[in-house]
Amino acid sequence: MTKFSEYKDVWVYTEQRGGKLMNVALELLGEGRRLSREISGDARVCAVLVGHETDHLADELTAYGADLIYQIDDPLLAHYTTDGYAKVITQAIEERKPEIVLFGATHIGRDLAPRIAARLDTGLTADCTRLDIDTGDYMEYLEKNTTASLAGLSAEDGDKGLKQTRPAFGGNLMATIVTPRTRPQMATVRPGVMEKLEKDLSLKSEVVRIQPQLSKADIQVEILDVVKEAKELVSLTDAKIICSGGRGLGDASGFELIEAFAKKVGGVVGASRAAVDSGWIDQSHQVGQTGTTVKPNIYFACGISGAIQHLAGMQTSDIIVAINKDPEAPMMQLADYAVCGDLKKVIPEIIEAWDQA
């Protein structure tokens, strides 16, 4: 059985692409720092930086909260490959035994984390929206209330365990999942959910370089070239203003109005799943449980009813403006500003007023 006492520290896979850190990596450093301080006085939050020639990223990781940076550098890691990255991170985890390992739920994080968890024979909770450290009561609760055998484990084992919360059953309830038998405890976390720390240039960290045991034969894919998608990239996660359209647009041409609206207010176009499933707009614009989680300063929801799966992806926006002809729609109840009316009349009026403002 895993010796829990050998495991310490919180690791964050700090995903970088082309020498640029992903926002979610910085968000997770903030969250990892909070969790590590709750585990014990000497637990650290450690950034796991994988790639080639990544020295320039160390200062940014430190300023956003990393106590220690494990830099795994090799020319074979210059581009992401599933088998190369999975191998070197698994090696590092086996050698150094972190208590918790967090990944952003990006395409790469979702590809990488389950492979590593399977190699380590430990649990992984995907797509978490909340993380907490157990104070011991959760294991006691499980002992009393579940039929699952917890033989050999005591409430002490659950002490300081990670409670991993994610939407379940189509977003209708939140499930809290624990990893009582194995270490490390692993989770992927949705981008845009956790708060990154204020950048603090006075923070200090230690950099530990790890020379991975990796050869060309370990990597079955050869990257010949990296070609950026030709279509316009949708950066919903970082957008300050989002103008989203739903089924209330009526048809695909409704998005011309939303695009004009977004252009006018300096926003990015979002969509509900109903609009995406109708084929009116690409899935990369979808906001919600099975789309992107967003937290803009202003979220305009145009012709979107406010189903729980949509709300799961945008309800923490600073200001929500709903435009809907149904005053009873859940989005109208949630909104800071609810405009009741036909969006085909209301949006052109806002565009016109914006010009005059």
Report the nearest approach of ligand FAD to the CB of residue 270 (Å). 9
Query: Using the rule CB under 6 A, which residue among 115, 325, 338, 351 binds ligand FAD?
Result: 325
Taking contact as CB under 6 A, which single stretch among the options 45-53, 72-80, 139-147, 337-345 is the one that binds ligand FAD? Answer: 337-345
Report the nearest approach of ligand FAD to the CB of residue 111 (Å). 20
Counting contacts by CB under 6 A, is residue 329 touching ligand FAD? yes
The encoded tokens of residue 134 equal 């157990």
Specify the amino acid at residue 157: D
Alpha carbon separation from 315 to 104, 239, 278 (Å, rounded): 20, 15, 23
Measured over the CA atoms of residue 329, residue 333, residue 335 and residue 341, the dihedral's sign is positive
Nearer to ligand FAD, 251 or 342 (CB): 342
Counting contacts by CB under 6 A, is residue 183 touching ligand FAD? no
Nearer to ligand FAD, 37 or 325 (CB): 325
Nearer to ligand FAD, 116 or 274 (CB): 274
> Scanning the structure block, which residue is given the tokens 């903030």?
30
Query: Using the rule CB under 6 A, which residue among 84, 161, 246, 270 binds ligand FAD?
Result: 246
Residues 6+ apart with CB under 8 A from 266: 240, 241
Pairing of strands 173-177, 162-168: antiparallel
Q: Is 116 marked as a binding-site residue?
A: no
Residue 48 β-bridge partners: 13, 70
* CA nearest neighbour of 188 among 162, 161, 159, 160: 162
Q: Binding string to ligand FAD for residues 273 to 312, with x set by CB under 6 A, is what?
A: xxx----------x-xxxx-----------xxx-x-xx--
Tell me if 160 sits within 8 A of 100, measured CB to CB. Answer: no
Q: Is 309 marked as a binding-site residue?
A: yes
Counting contacts by CB under 6 A, is residue 326 touching ligand FAD? yes
Burial (0-12, 13-18, 19+ Cβ within 10 Å), 267 = buried
SS3 77: helix
Question: How far is Cα 110 from Cα 153, in angstroms, rounded to an integer?
Answer: 30
Nearer to ligand FAD, 63 or 281 (CB): 281
Counting contacts by CB under 6 A, is residue 242 touching ligand FAD? no
* Residues lying near ligand FAD in the complex (CB under 6 A): 170, 246-248, 272-275, 286, 288-291, 303-305, 307, 309-310, 313, 323-326, 329, 342-344
Annotated binding site: 247, 272-273, 286-290, 303-310, 324
